[in-house]
Amino acid sequence: MKIIVAPDSFKGSLSAIEAAEAIALGALSALPDAEVIKLPLADGGEGTVDALVSATGGQLFTKRVMGPMGDEVEATYGIMGGGETAVIEMSVAAGLGLVPPNQRNPLIATTYGVGQLIEAALKHNVKKIVIGVGGSATNDGGAGAVQALGARLLDSDGVDLPPGGAALLKLDSIDLSGFRFPKGQVEVLVACDVDNPLIGSNGASAVYGPQKGATLEMVEILEAALSKYAQVIHKYLDIDVAALPAGGAAGGLAAGLAAFLDAKLQPGIEIVLDAVKFDEKAHSADLVITGEGRIDYQTLRGKTIAGVARRCALMGIPMVALAGSVGDGFDKLYSEGLTAVFSIMDRPMSEEEAMRDAYDLLRKTARDVVALLSRNHEKGKCE
């Protein structure tokens, strides 16, 4: 029996790699002779670098870069097996988790460190860069990132703009004479976990600004700043990013990367599935087991389980999802390719207990699922 183990992380308790190990261990305890292939996944947010580097036998690197509030942080990026593709998570350089709640301020938060990571990746002579953009503390449209790569964003006096989203209100012109990105030579894929545009009522500032510490007044400033940014980009780069689907991801970083790096914006899970060669490795599989911390109506909006389900449906492979909790609306996944879903909790317990014991709970549930399905599998072969 060939089993593909392809979970996302169980946030707060298990990384995708740890979840895959637990599921694989449970599967093999039920069926020791099974061929089990571990493919830890992510949807473009936390864990994307680890998932892609692990699945391809790649290598991790660290670099000191500017954090979102101007302090220095140590950030990790990866080079996938084969050496041609770099993987970056914007959150390790400009993520919300790097800023204490009482210090969050998207008016001045910068993506400069993301640009530094891109430049570091380029030194490996890669042909492609995958950038996961979930979990940002910023709302600067990627201005900091492109400044780190040599782009000059200038006010009406020809002075370089300072860091942060609010500074874009004074943007007057763009100078790319010193830009250090080899546009057209290196492909950039932005792994988006949302589909919001850059500006508007459903845009980056209005929807996600408050999560990053923005007051209503600050949201108005950021909205006006990103609108000005889009206008100047259109004038100097001849690209309209204002309503670009997913351009609002990571406070508009996705739009900035599309404009300056000619990046392609795609659902994160689709990029990850292609990068780890999911279809090729799942060929002729008898079962796919996936999972993440919670499954509910939001899972359909670009999350890992939904992406895996659609691939399995196309390939005709049964797929079982394991989750810490199962919420309203999960049943819509059945029409996407989900065969069955199971909560890993085996008794009434607190959230703290469930997170503490997640590894064993996941292992035991995987063991039971494989034990049941393997008996039916063998019975089918006999008949």
CB 109 within 8 A of CB 69: yes
User: Do 16 and 80 belong to one domain?
Assistant: no
For the beta carbon of residue 332, count every other beta carbon within 10 angstroms. Answer: 14
- Answer whether residue 344 is part of any domain: yes
Q: What CATH number is associated with residue 131? A: 3.90.1510.10
Q: What sign results for the dihedral spanned by CA atoms 121, 126, 127, 132?
A: negative
CB 5 within 8 A of CB 27: yes
Rounded mean pLDDT of 26-50?
Answer: 91
Considering only CA atoms, give the Rg of the chain: 22
Confidence check: pLDDT of 344 > 80: yes
Of the two residues 344 and 378, the one the predictor is more confident about is 344
Confidence check: pLDDT of 194 > 90: no
Strand-pair partners of 131:
88, 190
User: Do 127 and 186 belong to one domain?
Assistant: yes
Of the two residues 325 and 198, the one the predictor is more confident about is 198
Residue 142, both tokens: 């990627």
User: Do 152 and 252 belong to one domain?
Assistant: yes
| Domain's final residue, options 269, 293, 320 | 269
DSSP 8-state code for residue 317: -
User: Do 214 and 236 belong to one domain?
Assistant: yes
Confidence check: pLDDT of 367 > 80: yes
181 CB-near residues (< 8 Å, 6+ apart): 118, 122, 149, 150, 260, 261
pLDDT per residue as tens digits for the range 286-315: 999 999 988 887 787 678 899 999 999 999
- Answer whether residue 134 is part of any domain: yes
**Can you tell me the distance from the alpha carbon of 373 to that of 56, in angstroms, rounded to the nearest whole number?**
29
Q: Outline where DSSP puts E strands in the chain.
A: 2-5, 35-38, 59-66, 72-79, 85-89, 128-132, 152-154, 173-175, 187-192, 264-267, 287-295, 319-326, 340-343
Confidence check: pLDDT of 259 > 60: yes
**Can you tell me the distance from the alpha carbon of 41 to that of 56, in angstroms, rounded to the nearest whole number?**
12
CA contacts within 13 A on the Cβ side of 311? 28
257 CB-near residues (< 8 Å, 6+ apart): 131, 142, 145, 188, 190, 263
Of the two residues 379 and 91, the one the predictor is more confident about is 91
Highest mean pLDDT among 13-17, 130-134, 229-233, 323-327: 229-233
Q: What CATH number is associated with residue 349? A: 3.40.50.10350
User: Do 103 and 28 belong to one domain?
Assistant: no
pLDDT band at 378 (very low <50, low <70, confident <90, very high): low
User: Do 65 and 182 belong to one domain?
Assistant: yes
Q: How much is the pLDDT for 322?
A: 97
Rounded mean pLDDT of 327-345?
Answer: 91
- Answer whether residue 348 is part of any domain: yes
pLDDT band at 186 (very low <50, low <70, confident <90, very high): very high
Q: How much is the pLDDT for 381?
A: 53
Confidence check: pLDDT of 51 > 90: no
User: Do 27 and 100 belong to one domain?
Assistant: no
Q: How much is the pLDDT for 382?
A: 43
Confidence check: pLDDT of 202 > 80: yes
**Can you tell me the distance from the alpha carbon of 361 to that of 203, in angstroms, rounded to the nearest whole number?**
39
Rounded mean pLDDT of 28-53?
Answer: 91
DSSP 8-state code for residue 8: -
- Answer whether residue 280 is part of any domain: no
pLDDT per residue as tens digits for the range 117-157: 999 999 999 999 999 998 899 999 999 999 999 999 999 99
* Number of domains composing the chain: 2
User: Do 258 and 371 belong to one domain?
Assistant: no
Percent of residues, the chain, with pLDDT higher than 70: 98
User: Do 148 and 15 belong to one domain?
Assistant: no
CB 281 within 8 A of CB 39: yes
**Can you tell me the distance from the alpha carbon of 204 to that of 326, in angstroms, rounded to the nearest whole number?**
29
User: Do 164 and 243 belong to one domain?
Assistant: yes
User: Do 350 and 261 belong to one domain?
Assistant: no
Confidence check: pLDDT of 383 > 50: no
| Domain's final residue, options 269, 300, 323 | 269
Q: How much is the pLDDT for 373?
A: 86
pLDDT per residue as tens digits for the range 209-253: 999 999 999 999 999 999 999 999 999 999 999 999 999 999 999
User: Do 295 and 362 belong to one domain?
Assistant: yes
SS3 312: helix
pLDDT per residue as tens digits for the range 22-34: 999 999 999 999 9
- Answer whether residue 275 is part of any domain: no
DSSP for 142-176?
THHHHHHTT-EEE-TTSPBPPSSSGGGGG--EEE-
What residues make up the domain containing 244? 48-269
* Helices and strands counted in the chain (H then E): 13, 13
pLDDT band at 379 (very low <50, low <70, confident <90, very high): low
What pTM did the predictor assign? Answer: 0.84
Rounded mean pLDDT of 72-82?
Answer: 96
- Answer whether residue 293 is part of any domain: yes
Average pLDDT of the chain, as a whole number:
93
Q: How much is the pLDDT for 256?
A: 98
| Domain's final residue, options 203, 237, 269 | 269
Write the burial class of residue 316 (CB in 10 Å: 0-12 exposed, 13-18 middle, 19+ buried): exposed
- Answer whether residue 341 is part of any domain: yes
DSSP 8-state code for residue 263: P
- Answer whether residue 277 is part of any domain: no
